[in-house]
A and B are shown apart, each in its own frame.
Chain A
Amino acid sequence: MSGRLWVIRGGRVIDPANGVDEVRDIWIDADRIVAPPADPESRPARLLDARGAVVMPGGIDVHCHIAGPKVNAARLMQPEISREAPPRPRRAGFRSGTGGVVPTSFTTGYRYAGLGYTFACDAAIAPLAARQAHHELADTPVIDKAFLILLGNDHFALERIGQGRASALRDYLAWMLGATRGYGVKVVNPGGIERWKQAQGTTSSLDDPVPGFDVTPRAILTEIARAVDELGLPHPVHIHGLNLGLPGNAASTLELMKALDGHRAHLAHIQFHSYAGDPSDQESMASGVEPLADYVNAHDHLSLDVGQILFGPTTSMTADSAVAEYLHRLTGRKWLSHDVELETGCGVVPIEYRHTQFIHALQWAIGLEWFLRVNDPWKLALSTDHPNGGSYLAYPRIIGWLMSRALRDEVWAALPAPARSRSALADLDREYTLAEIAIITRAAPARMLGLADRGHLGPGARADVTIYRDDPDRVRMFELPRWVIKSGQIVIDDSELRAAPDGLTLHNAPAHDDAIIPEIRDHFDRHASIRFAHFPLRSEEAP
């Protein structure tokens, strides 16, 4: 083995999961990080001189949208975005593609790698879209991937919850993950999408009924959270709550947090769920972060990603059809909506966030408030809900705002006064350290996803490593890593993409009682437009 051993020498290693922030060497054997060889004389096969540089684990995105029919619909509905952004020409060993906020799959992989990210989790794949999503992810190179399966409006699950059959629900979730090669379970607007598809509005409180099913959003959330815990899935239930984007939604978010007491849960793009005010009056909106952050600080069952917005044009895409329709009515922009049988909806609307706009300015401040008000960075992950709040390419700018109050103040000063009067962002002096940035961009998301061999640089970890120049301009530092190593292979060298190996798509297939299968088959026979036999992926479809 030692013939393949090589070393990253002399960098400042920031590895918060192992309590490390010091100059040291990182040894790599094939695709793993290993302990330094016992023999001090042993010579590495290669030496990468990282003196003066900052060495971190590869970045991990806990919540983004990079695959599946909804992302593809966003591309096809907006050819103008692809036309306006500079294309990526083909070169030897690398595929071509289009850019913009919803780039093509190959570009997506290359760009994540160029940003020092080595893992991304697509947060919303309909069970019936899993087959296509695996094809897309196979065409998303360099990074490793996983996706979460939408189950918060799933008829079979809702029926079992209504019947109080916890073990049947558990078996179903386990079977579903195996059948779709999914990684975890996502709940979006529980019961609310079903209600919207029935043209009965959406659910606005945890105790609203879901017509046709004997359940409430509260029951869906708590029962799925319980089932996910009992199955021992590495990632807790991943939740996009109620009333996304509406003034006053902070109250229902606090209710939701309390309802989940006793369960593990991850709350996605929390920024979009943290507004005070009156739902019928946009102008009444204000930050509702403080009480929510206080709750998170006082409890340990929750993790979050922020869903920070950036000013500029982007694309809103969500399984929450009601939200997409709301945005369409608000903005008058084109609107794509697709109802998917048995489970979900999907909506896509172009959106442009403007710093001169009261609501958008406030949303920007609310996202940053979250970063600064949660005391323990291990509870929080950096996300833009790509591309909803903005592209993941904006992460370095967000890092800049977190590390420098002065950079925040520059933006803050240009925001409309009414927005500034509704957020206490200016009172928050906190500035993140590099170690804290390493936590929210790799160590914490890895821990949230239950990825034991990622997000850290200890022996046994996957050799996913990002090496930055220690540039006092932190935005530039994080925009252009000097080297990126993926599974032991140097993929970015001198900030240039040099190799594009295929990445893995991870999944979980927990054990379940096969007695559930005839029930699922019967459900498909009665309600699905495809045969049950054609639903589960065959092993060769998602190796």
Chain B
Amino acid sequence: MTATCTITDWVCLACGTLCDDLTLTLDPSGPIAQLEPDCGPARLWWERVAQTASGPVAAVNGQPTSFQTALDCAAERIRAARSPRLVGLDATSLEGQRAAVALAERIGAVIDSGSAEARARLAAMARVGRCSATFGEVHARADQILIWACDPTTTHPRFLTRFVDPPGRFAVAPRNVIVVGSTPNATSARASLCLSVRPEQRIAALATLLALLRCAPIRSEQVAATTGQTLDAWTTLADALRRARYGVVVTDSTLDDPVEYEALLRLVRALNQRPDGRFVHLSLGLPGNAAGAEAVLGWQAGYAPDVTFAAGYPAMGVPDLEHDLTIELGSAFNLNRAPAAAVATIRIAPDATVTPPEPAVAIASSALGISESGTVIRSDGLALPVLSVVPSSRPSVAAILRELLQRLPDAAEQGTSP
């Protein structure tokens, strides 16, 4: 039996915190022997994704085949398709995403993010802008943390312990944590103030806070009726926000109503009108590389998170089209991803050949963060390098997509040169 292997500064892709500080000790046979610091979703993710490495490299109509044959089949189907669609762009590295957008453009595909949060956030941002910060700024400066309708202690287990609990350069601990939402939950247990509000009451709650900040007239009966909390409770909360030297509102991917999103960004902007305090918004991402997908689409296509290349140039959004072909990337990447509504025609993922439903063409890639290197972007915009820690003979998603692109040549030759 060979020795265990220890990897320092491992990057965990199991949730949007994208912790890059883990020490991972592996048994010779592969499973995690030790994870330091330990984190439940991280272990689960490793075990789930690592076990996909044993399936066939490729399959066509369920029959194992060679990588090259599967690529030929995929290319043939793409050539025959009239209305292709690409999903799962968030499930691959920046390198994979650059290749995927190039492919989508060449074949005139629609890129469907499937993310209501991203749609709501970007729509709100296009109306009012957004004040945000990196996780390290929260650590360095934040004194008031408003957790809005989410429960990071459960969904992003190390976010608060890494960036909020310890003191920062300009911030003392403990910092004031306030929770608003469907409480109690694991995060509200540690909050100094907690207001239970049902989802349909949240827009009224934001309007109340905004009115309080602007000292606009408010009717207390109406506040109680629309928000489920008394005007006094909101006044206490507004006062706490007003006192913030550097305040942060934290939301997660369940915030998917564009109206609520816009109200929230307006609240943050209003809090920045104070001469002596700053306020920022932080959106905790889903597992994977959704921020990378937004970035690549931004610079290659000008729009995000959904783009259609059906007309030969980028256009915003997902048109109402029937698709006769779906290319799906990286389905094993996200533990919580809902099963695809339609069966993919072509699936490129670590578990493509093992996880049902069975696509027409399945190509098994290496697994980012385990057997594949690449770049990922955190929801706060910081790009991180992810390194392969277990060797694999399987190609990366980026390499597979580039092979596919080569099989789908441009219609004409490139221009002349001397």
Instruction: Decide whether A and B are members of one complex.
Output: yes
**Residues of A with Cβ closer than 8 Å to B?**
6, 45-46, 48, 67, 69, 71-73, 75-80, 82-83, 87-93, 95-98, 103-106, 128-129, 131-132, 135-136, 139, 155, 197-201, 212, 325, 328, 334-342, 348-349, 488-491, 493, 497-500, 526-531, 533-534, 537-538, 541
A341→B137 contact, CB < 8 A? yes
Residues in B neighbouring A498, C-beta threshold 8 A: 415-417
Residues in A neighbouring B302, C-beta threshold 8 A: 75, 79, 82, 97-98, 103-104
A92→B413 contact, CB < 8 A? yes
Task: Name the distance in Å between A289's Cβ and chain B's nearest Cβ.
Answer: 32
A325→B272 contact, CB < 8 A? yes
Q: Provide the bound-state CA to CA distance between A526 and B122, in Å.
A: 33
Main secondary structure of the interface of A (DSSP, over half): mixed
Mask, B6-32, CB within 8 Å of A = 1, is 001101000000001100000000000
Q: Provide the bound-state CA to CA distance between A131 and B382, in Å.
A: 9
Most buried by B among A135, A334, A500: A135
Residues in A neighbouring B137, C-beta threshold 8 A: 197, 339-341
Task: Name the distance in Å between B81's Cβ and chain A's nearest Cβ.
Answer: 17
B312→A89 contact, CB < 8 A? yes
Most buried by B among A6, A334, A499: A334
Task: Name the distance in Å between A200's Cβ and chain B's nearest Cβ.
Answer: 8
Q: Provide the bound-state CA to CA distance between A537 and B412, in Å.
A: 37
A95→B316 contact, CB < 8 A? no
A76→B125 contact, CB < 8 A? yes
Q: Provide the bound-state CA to CA distance between A526 and B296, in Å.
A: 31
Q: Provide the bound-state CA to CA distance between A76 and B305, in Å.
A: 9
Contact of B414 among A83, A92, A135, A528 (CB under 8 A): A92
Most buried by B among A6, A197, A488, A490: A197
Residues in B neighbouring A499, C-beta threshold 8 A: 414-417
Known: A75-B298, A76-B303. A90 touches B122 (CB 8 A): no
Task: Name the distance in Å between B216's Cβ and chain A's nearest Cβ.
Answer: 18
Closest residue of B by beta carbon distance from A485: B418
Q: Could you list 5 further interchain pairs (A-B, Cβ under 8 angstroms) beyond the known A87-B314, A197-B246?
A: A75-B302, A340-B134, A341-B136, A529-B382, A534-B11
| Residue B323 interfacial (CB < 8 Å) | no
Task: Name the distance in Å between A323's Cβ and chain B's nearest Cβ.
Answer: 15
Total residues of chain B contacting the partner, CB 8 A:
76
A129→B381 contact, CB < 8 A? yes
| Residue B180 interfacial (CB < 8 Å) | no
**Residues of B with Cβ closer than 8 Å to A?**
8-9, 11, 20-21, 94, 98, 102, 105-106, 122, 125-137, 139-141, 162-163, 168-170, 245-246, 269, 272, 274-278, 280, 294-296, 298-304, 309, 311-316, 375, 377, 380-385, 410-418
Residues in B neighbouring A201, C-beta threshold 8 A: 275
Residues in A neighbouring B272, C-beta threshold 8 A: 325, 337
Q: Provide the bound-state CA to CA distance between A198 and B352, in Å.
A: 49
The 7 closest A-B pairs by CB, nearest first: A341-B136, A498-B415, A98-B302, A93-B414, A529-B136, A92-B412, A87-B313
Closest residue of A by beta carbon distance from B278: A199
Residues in A neighbouring B316, C-beta threshold 8 A: 79, 82-83
A527→B299 contact, CB < 8 A? no
Residues in A neighbouring B278, C-beta threshold 8 A: 197, 199, 339
Q: Provide the bound-state CA to CA distance between A534 and B136, in Å.
A: 14
B294→A490 contact, CB < 8 A? no
Contact of A69 among B122, B169, B295, B303 (CB under 8 A): B295
Known: A105-B300, A339-B280, A528-B136. A77 touches B412 (CB 8 A): no
Q: Can you spell out 24 A-B residue pairs with CB atoms less than 8 angstroms apart?
A: A69-B381, A77-B129, A89-B312, A93-B412, A93-B414, A103-B302, A104-B301, A104-B314, A132-B377, A132-B383, A197-B246, A334-B126, A335-B129, A338-B381, A339-B278, A340-B137, A490-B417, A499-B417, A529-B163, A530-B136, A533-B9, A534-B384, A534-B385, A538-B385
